[in-house]
Structure 1
């Protein structure tokens, strides 16, 4: 046994050791979330550097998101067969090497390719963090660390654009990738020393590569339709072609998983009502989360004529509120169970969207701050209890796949939320060129968001009447 393994085994039951493990793996999560949001501020600089339009440069972001979402469940399924310590270290290493390659990119095509490599590492990191935390903390103590993970994701989202702006202005766009290198090296070294070996029951059966390929095609083509449908036209040839491929791939995937002896995603997990209802409610919550981020900046610009410098500050209360209340949601989940805090949180989030729907043509900054703070409070209270309920509805040896599915639902919900928000503006039937018309259109969209939130509340309340699912606690 190595010295590092001896240390981790000796102190594995100590409370302080659990939080050191948590800090080690969350460093990787923070790095991935900062990097995903930091790219938004670099697009104008990349446009000047490579002399390419926004339509081409958007793939620097889109390719990353599509790859992460497409392979997350595959990564989770593989992680459940392997040593999660080794898999996590491999993910951080790939992400770090991908960052170095991005920093050396000489063309847009190279940057997009290296971002794909980086995204593979990011998917491996995201697909293992919740699983490692679930193995490290016993049942009844997972709510708080999972709540803090929600805060870390929010902080990374806040810090990313601000940090990117400072780095790009001071050292150029390549610096946003170089900053990942020392963080990645420290994360790898800490993981080697701190993390203990975590193995589920390894399967000797062959990995379902056909199922993995069909899932990747199905989810990526569906995300392309949702994200690009407005630009392509919902009944255009590209949209219909992608939708057809997606439907056929989903059919093939389900057929393959039902006959496979070692499926990528065990469909029997979906026999668990808490698992299904929790993921459905989680998806709706991530759709809701995108509404303020898309609609409010447009509302502030076209209706209130808020200066650009003020918009960023006005949007931060949501993230700050989530940072503050996500750990509280985890604490309440540990203390009183997951279902009531989750239902209350989603209901409060719907109230926040309702306050945004009532913003008029002369709304004050205070009204916007209050609405976003209430929304962030609700989402913070909801997310960690809901994640705990999903994780604890399946055997712990499937926690890698389950954590990956939660992250997949998060990414898919975000893409859907952006598309739905834009589509609702168009479906409102209002004149978007006038201040009054845009205010009415955004109000319509927010009220639909309230309805989505209430559907999520119903799904969460239904879980109150579902029998609790006992988890296996093997390690």
Structure 2
């Protein structure tokens, strides 16, 4: 609908859609010890259940964004809600690893459909000055969701059980579906029949899965073992084949022309790396429970500062962007995130001092994510043509999901490798696991400094607002 303008009802419905992903994607971290005991499954299966949602979301999200452009972003958002409900129910009733893993896979697909579709709806239905505001609230659900999820997970696991994490997601999804219902459809209007890039989808998914298997299993299987070396070769061949296919396809699943923009590259790369930083919570929360004696609820309380600061500073980042451009708040955000995680990595400190340091570090990291979120999202999807909105947002959110998945995998691999040599070296394992996120944060800062243009204002945003 050409003249339709988005309202707060639609915006709140989309926020709930994004929030459902974080409620089930991250909240489970707080319930890892209880999940292990209740279902009687191995730690490797638990780790798979934790990380597989982000992985499936990451490898599917570009495809989902492209489908949303062609089929309709409202339809795909509603389909994502339905998948969220199905996946959550399966996890709630799981009595072993099978239903749990299947449910988590479906939840990953849910996030893959909801996030690029809702971002494209914002791009389509919130023009001018309404767009940065809408993106801020969307970012509040996306980035702030990770903070809410850890507190929510800790509280729910302590008061009820880990199953309620998924059970409570169902009514949230139903409310979101109701609020989005009735929104005019938004999609690419083309007289030509849109072909599905099946070969592009297959080669991209298989290449990313190969790379993830290398990262997650390299330590256990051996980095020079035949399976790992075979997977590395498979990744290189499949990804090269994917690029070859996309360069010659008239309707590619990934529009490589988007990467001609330095600003877009900066947003995608730094987004990937900062979501790797968010993987620090996968190390921190179990570490403070097992090595520092905190309960699930207490570890959730530890993240309160993170939750408060990210919620209160997201709109501050938006205001700074409107006045100074995207570069400054993105620099501030990446720098503060790295400094905050550095404070969490000081695991050699006595318990009381360490917990204070971690609380402050989480709060600083929250400020960093708050400043970064809206400028980054606006740089990635705020200025692309309508027909490329789904693809652009899909790539951007793929970077988010894969960043989180690889952050968990790499941090976990580093931490596990140390514990395999000395199972009592919990402080060292925690410190080095968190150190992975510190490095990712500083590399993200470098990417922003090098790639984001030095402008006082985003000229394209000005034109749109005019």
The TM-score range, normalised by the shorter chain, is 0.7 to 0.9
Q: Is the 8 A contact 2:273 2:440 kept in 1?
A: no
CA drift of 1:358 comes to 6.6
| TM-score, reference length from structure 1 | 0.83
2:384 corresponds to: 394
2:258 corresponds to: 269
Distance 1:98 1:375, change over 3 A: closer
Distance 1:456 1:349, change over 3 A: farther
Which structure: larger Rg? Answer: 1
Pairs within 5 Å for 1:288-327: 288-291=277-280, 294=283, 298=287, 305=292, 307-308=294-295, 310-327=298-315
CA drift of 1:66 comes to 2.4
Q: Deviations over 1:121-147 (max 9, x none)?
A: 231112212111222211343223222
Given candidates 420, 430, 443, the residue that maps to 1:452 is 443
Given candidates 19, 25, 45, the residue that maps to 2:14 is 25
CA drift of 1:266 comes to 1.3
Q: Is the 8 A contact 1:395 1:471 kept in 2?
A: no
Q: Deviations over 1:317-361 (max 9, x none)?
A: 223221211121123223432222212322333343455567763
Q: Is the 8 A contact 2:12 2:176 kept in 1?
A: no
Question: Take 1:173 and 1:360, find their aligned partners in 2: how far apart are those partners?
Answer: 31
Distance 1:131 1:440, change over 3 A: closer
1:178 corresponds to: 167
Question: Take 1:390 and 1:211, find their aligned partners in 2: how far apart are those partners?
Answer: 22
Pairs within 5 Å for 1:374-389: 374-389=364-379
Q: Deviations over 1:22-41 (max 9, x none)?
A: 10111111112101123334
CA drift of 1:159 comes to 4.0
CA drift of 1:209 comes to 0.9
Given candidates 324, 330, 340, the residue that maps to 1:352 is 340
User: Aligned to 1:80, what secondary structure does the other structure show?
Assistant: helix
Question: Take 2:303 and 2:162, find their aligned partners in 1: how far apart are those partners?
Answer: 24
Q: Deviations over 1:35-81 (max 9, x none)?
A: 11233345445545543322234333333232211110000111111
1:80 corresponds to: 69
CA drift of 1:451 comes to 3.7
Given candidates 241, 246, 254, the residue that maps to 1:257 is 246
Given candidates 316, 321, 340, the residue that maps to 2:328 is 340
Distance 1:247 1:241, change over 3 A: same
Of 454-463 and 439-448, more deviation after overlay is shown by 439-448
Distance 1:457 1:258, change over 3 A: closer
User: Aligned to 1:138, what secondary structure does the other structure show?
Assistant: coil
Given candidates 110, 117, 139, the residue that maps to 1:128 is 117
Q: Deviations over 1:130-177 (max 9, x none)?
A: 111222211343223222223223443344455456656666655444
1:95 corresponds to: 84
2:202 corresponds to: 213
Of 217-226 and 57-66, more deviation after overlay is shown by 57-66
CA drift of 1:438 comes to 6.5
1:109 corresponds to: 98
Question: Take 1:357 and 1:399, find their aligned partners in 2: how far apart are those partners?
Answer: 38
Q: Is the 8 A contact 2:321 2:457 kept in 1?
A: no
Aligned length: 457
2:188 corresponds to: 200
User: Aligned to 1:81, what secondary structure does the other structure show?
Assistant: helix
Question: Take 2:300 and 2:217, find their aligned partners in 1: how far apart are those partners?
Answer: 26
Q: Is the 8 A contact 1:102 1:115 kept in 2?
A: yes
Asked if 1:35 corresponds to 2:24, the answer is: yes
User: Aligned to 2:185, what secondary structure does the other structure show?
Assistant: coil
Asked if 1:149 corresponds to 2:138, the answer is: yes
Given candidates 120, 124, 127, the residue that maps to 1:138 is 127
